[in-house]
Chains A and B, each alone.
Chain A
């Protein structure tokens, strides 16, 4: 299993925007993953809010090419709180 720790500006505790999400995926994740590999994406602990636009933009390319189920099967999202982990999954839809 691959673990990728996302990096953001330290003052940012809220993430929003589809373009920003896609930009983070392309710059920090895309070239680090192999097809069918299980991946854990770890958000910094200070991230308190991840808007649906961000997470949808983040996975937009993969959803388009592989489908939603592929994301569910291959990706685990980890934040500073389990409650937010669960919300992130719901917000991908």
Chain B
């Protein structure tokens, strides 16, 4: 069937559909390549994350957290957790260059908890204050887990806050 006839040349529906199919194919290929690249990046990140963070998130932080207690109104046993936070910070230095945004977030979350723990031993606590201390402590630990695990599953924050396709390298 003839769709158009301009100055003697004709364009059929078949030709139009074939052209559209070619364009769609190229676009699909482009998206697939980008998608594969992203998956590969996530897989590579997952490897690094497993190497660096698994031990801390699964065992070391929970174990160190268990040392913390209230003895006669003073907080005891925070040293181990402070040590682990510093170990995580040092082990994360790799990301200072690979992913500075993530490193800054992790470093801030770690520092926040470390400072909180260091200052906690200068104060005295009754039961109510200790409950409140524990709540904040748990929230700060949770924040560290959230920062790390959200990067682990690929929910990286883009530097400029724009959707991914604005950040694709040209």
Contact = CB atoms under 8 A, between A and B. Distances in A.
B51 interface: no
A38 B82 CA distance: 29
A52 interface: yes
B119 interface: yes
B44 interface: no
A74 B121 CA distance: 31
Interface string A44-56: 0000111111100
Contact of A50 (B78, B89, B118): B118
A14 B86 contact: no
A93 interface: yes
B82 A49 contact: yes
Contact of B115 (A11, A13, A53, A91): A53
B45 interface: no
A90 interface: yes
A61 interface: no
Interface range, B side: 10 to 19
Contacts, number: 47
Interface in A69-93: 87, 90-91, 93
Contacts of B90: 90, 93
B122 A14 contact: yes
Contact of B122 (A13, A90, A91): A13
Given A11-B122, A49-B121, A93-B90, A16 B115 contact: yes
B111 A13 contact: no
Interface of B: 78-79, 82-83, 86, 89-90, 111, 114-122
Nearest 4 pairs of A and B residues by beta carbon: A16-B118, A14-B118, A16-B115, A51-B118
